[in-house]
């Protein structure tokens, strides 16, 4: 079903209104780096740890546009609203300090660092080019692999040349939150502002330069039924793999504050996916290609606002997904069962009969 122009406008007006509220809660200036340690695996199978850091950049410019950015995203709310140039220049030093502190416990197990910016690492408005280069220069000497995230529009030669100048592209994973390879879902549910064509162009260019590419898949966007969310995630992974991505990250939705997703959730119009869906999708995607690194480590798993099951099996599934993501071994995911599996399967059928196919009938593109 296609939304009328009035409904499409109301959709973005609402997201924009919520983003204004979200931005009003952001600190104007701060230099805090949030950091944690993840399991990590290199393409040659070496297992170890990665230090993830959220850098206090200006955050996503797309989110600050009038239409409010992606309908599910709350990431920029932790970043400063207006950091000064001086604050941004301090990021390499602060990141290095944080790295040293976090590494203490793991000594030689640290293989990688992941830089999250709540937006695009390659956007020079968010993170000035000289600061970006300084971060990459320093960390290229500390770890074997660096992960960065960006929207497609910043994947241009100028930015890729600037990265290539300071680090070998084969050591950099560029992650893109494409979310789905279905343009209709990205437009009507996610307000993503990326088309499949734009994503394809970005992936091709990155591969030409020798970067490694990771595609993010958003599992169960708003206005999409559980069954269709499953189909869409697997379809999108297939398309991304055909394009040549090296890794897929499955990101099951959780309810972020001041988002359209939260508004629907509070009115009973949306619920995050079941952990069964996460598990099934992870297994199916990994089976698409054993060389593809699949990460499936859901945020808020088992919590009210995150993907969940009956409550009894949530923790064990969460732990199994973690072990799988760090090892790529499907043995951790196979043979899991619980009494709620039956309820889940019946829900999928009932949902299809009661609400048809969600808003979207699924036929891929
Ligand atoms: S999901 Fe990414 S592109 Fe979308 S608003 Fe959030 S940070 Fe920006
Ligand atoms: Zn259960």
CB distance 73 to ligand 1 below 6 Å: yes
CB distance 75 to ligand 1 below 6 Å: yes
CB distance 298 to ligand 1 below 6 Å: no
pTM score, whole prediction: 0.95
Among 54, 66, 71, 73, which is best to mutate for testing ligand 1, by the most ligand atoms less than 8 A from CB?
Answer: 73
Gap between the Cα atoms of 362 and 365, Å rounded: 8
Residue 264, Cβ density class (10 Å: 0-12 exposed, 13-18 middle, ≥19 buried): middle
Indicate which residue's Cα is closest to atom 7 of ligand 1. Answer: 119
Average pLDDT, integer, range 43-52: 95
Assess contact for 115 and 146: CB atoms under 8 A: yes
Average pLDDT, integer, range 224-248: 97
Residue 358 has pLDDT above 70, yes or no: no
Residues 124-175 have pLDDT tens digits of: 999 999 999 999 999 999 999 999 999 999 999 999 999 999 999 999 999 9
Could you tell me the distance, in angstroms and rounded to a whole number, from the CA of residue 313 to the centre of ligand 1?
Answer: 31
pLDDT score recorded for residue 8 = 80
- Helix, coil or strand: residue 355: helix
Residue 365 has pLDDT above 50, yes or no: no
CB distance 176 to ligand 1 below 6 Å: no
CB distance 63 to ligand 1 below 6 Å: yes
pLDDT score recorded for residue 5 = 80
pLDDT score recorded for residue 6 = 82
pLDDT score recorded for residue 7 = 80
Residues 271-289 have pLDDT tens digits of: 999 999 999 999 999 999 9
pLDDT score recorded for residue 360 = 52
Residue 107 has pLDDT above 70, yes or no: yes
Could you tell me the distance, in angstroms and rounded to a whole number, from the CA of residue 64 to the centre of ligand 1?
Answer: 10
pLDDT score recorded for residue 3 = 65
Domains in the chain, start-ordered, CATH in brackets? 5-355 (3.20.20.70)
Give the range among 1-10, 56-65, 312-321 with minimum mean pLDDT. Answer: 1-10
Residue 363 has pLDDT above 60, yes or no: no
Average pLDDT, integer, range 261-273: 96
Residues 82-102 have pLDDT tens digits of: 999 999 999 999 999 999 999
Radius of gyration of the chain (CA): 20
Assess contact for 181 and 207: CB atoms under 8 A: no
Residue 1 has pLDDT above 60, yes or no: no
Average pLDDT, integer, range 220-241: 97
Question: Helices 340-355 & 226-243, crossing angle to 10 degrees?
Answer: 90
pLDDT score recorded for residue 4 = 78
Gap between the Cα atoms of 77 and 96, Å rounded: 23
pLDDT score recorded for residue 9 = 85
pLDDT score recorded for residue 352 = 74
Higher pLDDT, 12 or 355: 12
Assess contact for 19 and 64: CB atoms under 8 A: yes
């Amino acid at each position: 079903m296609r939304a009328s122009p009035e409904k499409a406008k109301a959709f973005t007006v609402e997201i924009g209104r919520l983003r204004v509220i979200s931005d009003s809660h952001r600190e104007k200036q701060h230099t805090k780096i949030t950091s944690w340690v993840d399991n990590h695996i290199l393409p040659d199978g070496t297992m170890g740890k990665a230090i993830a850091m959220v850098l206090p950049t200006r955050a996503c410019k797309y989110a600050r546009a009038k239409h409010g950015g992606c309908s599910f995203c709350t990431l920029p709310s932790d970043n400063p609203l207006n950091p000064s140039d001086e604050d941004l220049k301090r990021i390499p030093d602060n990141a290095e300090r944080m790295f040293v502190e976090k590494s203490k416990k793991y000594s030689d197990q640290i293989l990688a660092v992941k830089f999250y910016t709540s937006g695009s690492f390659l956007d020079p408005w968010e993170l000035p080019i000289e600061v970006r280069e300084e971060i990459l220069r320093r960390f290229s000497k500390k770890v074997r692999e660096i992960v960065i995230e960006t929207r497609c529009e910043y994947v241009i030669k100028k930015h890729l040349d600037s990265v290539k100048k300071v680090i070998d592209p084969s050591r950099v994973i560029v992650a893109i939150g494409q979310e789905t390879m279905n343009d209709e879902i990205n437009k009507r549910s996610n307000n993503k502002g990326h088309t499949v064509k734009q994503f394809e162009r970005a992936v091709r260019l990155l591969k030409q330069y020798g970067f490694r590419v990771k595609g993010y898949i958003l599992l169960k966007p708003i206005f999409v039924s559980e069954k269709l969310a499953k189909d869409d995630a697997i379809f999108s992974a297939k398309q991304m793999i055909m394009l040549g991505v090296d890794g897929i990250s499955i990101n099951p939705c959780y309810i972020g504050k001041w988002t359209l997703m939260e508004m629907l959730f509070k009115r009973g119009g949306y619920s995050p996916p079941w952990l069964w869906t996460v598990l099934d999708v992870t297994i199916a995607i990994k089976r698409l290609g054993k060389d593809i690194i699949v990460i499936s480590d859901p945020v808020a798993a088992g919590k009210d606002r995150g993907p969940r099951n009956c409550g009894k099996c949530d923790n064990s599934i969460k732990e199994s997904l973690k072990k799988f993501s760090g090892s790529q071994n499907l043995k951790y995911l196979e043979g899991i069962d619980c009494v709620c599996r039956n309820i889940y399967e019946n829900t999928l059928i009932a949902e299809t009969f009661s609400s048809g196919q969600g808003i979207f009938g699924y036929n891929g593109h």
